[in-house]
Amino acid sequence: MATMKEIAELSGVSRGTVDRVLNHRGIVNAETERKVLEIAKLLDYQPNKAGIALAAQKKKLKIGVLLFGAENPFFDEVMDGLRQKLEELSIYGCTVIERRISFDLQSQLQTIDELLKEEIHGLILSPYNDPAIQEKIDLLWENGIPCITINTDMPDSKRIAYVGSDYHKCGQTAAGLLHLFSGDYASVGIVTGSHNVLCHEERISGFTSHLHTKHPNIRIVDVVENGDDDYKSYEVVSDLLDRHPDLSALYFTAAGVYGGCRAVLNASLQRPLKIITFDAVLSTCEMIRNGVISATICQQPDEQGARSLSLLVDYLLTGKLPENNAPTATRTASSIASVRLV
């Protein structure tokens, strides 16, 4: 097994410099850091786990977690998985500081700054899709604070990894499901959370592109936003049904499903709508059992939470980037998990 001493000799630097590079103990010249990391990789250097645990306990790692939707049950499940992983990593003495916000750029920027005041060592973030957030992620990286994006991505930023689904493919799957239930002809209303969240937009683009290519007689008549809020979802879906009496299907790209379905149930429609959604939260599963929702696409939220924390802690302790991930690379840690049908 390679040692720090051997890495130091081959790199032409002191053992202390190698220690600083591999354990993130201070500022090192970028070229020197690159050389040390390359030689460590070439020698397949494996840090001593007991030493890592001891160093981590002394460092008292703080991880910031910033997600959307204070009342979004999907992110409750993300946090359940993250907390379970945190218990598994208890030997390292990590703490997690969680924050939830609405779809608002300034709120996200302000909350990131608040987390920085808590002296976090890394950040798990569901990013608002705006250049200012990309700049913030890049600035964090340049200042030694790595970021992992979760559930929705900022692919051109310097985040070290993305944990989530391929949402364009999810949208294509949703379109295929809708055709399965509706046949060749349908009038569809799309209910999305926010046009400023990349994963919501990718679910729409995958859906529309698949319909355009494979099922051109299924028409999209309108797209509305509900802010991932059940009350707002009730209002916008009620209005959608009033304005489009010929509507035969709904496609929910995000949360607010329960509120939207309540609007459908209260509308006294002549025929049932075909409804495709995301996530297997309790209220959605109930609507499936009751025949209100035709199908939902599951995303493994607990796995997303656990995986993101595991990757970030591993990087903070070892300096090893997630496999096949550089700060500007795009990688998906999980794909479509499953589809639940009526």
Mean pLDDT of the chain: 87
CA 60, chain centre distance (Å): 25
How many residues make up the chain in this entry? Answer: 342
Residue 329 has pLDDT above 50, yes or no: no
Domains of the chain, with CATH numbers? 4-46 (no CATH), 53-164+302-334 (3.40.50.2300), 167-298 (3.40.50.2300)
Give the pLDDT score at 25. 61
123-146, pLDDT tens digit by residue?
A: 999 999 999 999 999 999 999 999
Residue 325 has pLDDT above 80, yes or no: no
Residue 52 has pLDDT above 80, yes or no: no
Give the pLDDT score at 340. 55
291-319, pLDDT tens digit by residue?
A: 999 999 998 899 999 999 999 998 888 87
Place of tokens 């959605």: 284
Q: Report DSSP state, residue 319.
A: -
CA dist 268 and 271 (Å) reads 9
**Residues 149-156: what's their mean pLDDT?**
94
pLDDT band per the 50, 70, 90 thresholds, residue 331: very low
Q: Alpha helices, DSSP H only, in 131-276?
A: 131-142, 167-182, 198-214, 230-243, 257-266
Top pLDDT among 4 and 276 is at 276
Give the pLDDT score at 86. 94
CA dist 254 and 74 (Å) reads 9
Q: Residue 164: how many CA atoms within 13 Å on its side-chain side?
A: 28
The burial of 106, by beta-carbon neighbours within 10 Å (0-12 exposed, 13-18 middle, 19 or more buried), is given as: exposed
Q: Are 161 and 333 spatial neighbours (Cβ–Cβ below 8 Å)?
A: yes
191-247, pLDDT tens digit by residue?
A: 999 999 999 999 999 999 999 999 999 999 999 999 999 999 999 999 999 999 999
Give the pLDDT score at 330. 30
CA dist 103 and 72 (Å) reads 12
Top pLDDT among 59 and 58 is at 59
| Percent of the chain clearing pLDDT 90 (strictly above) | 66
264-285, pLDDT tens digit by residue?
A: 999 988 889 999 999 989 999 9
Q: What secondary structure does DSSP assign to 273-312, as a single string?
A: PEEEEE---HHHHHHHHTTS--EEEE--HHHHHHHHHHHH
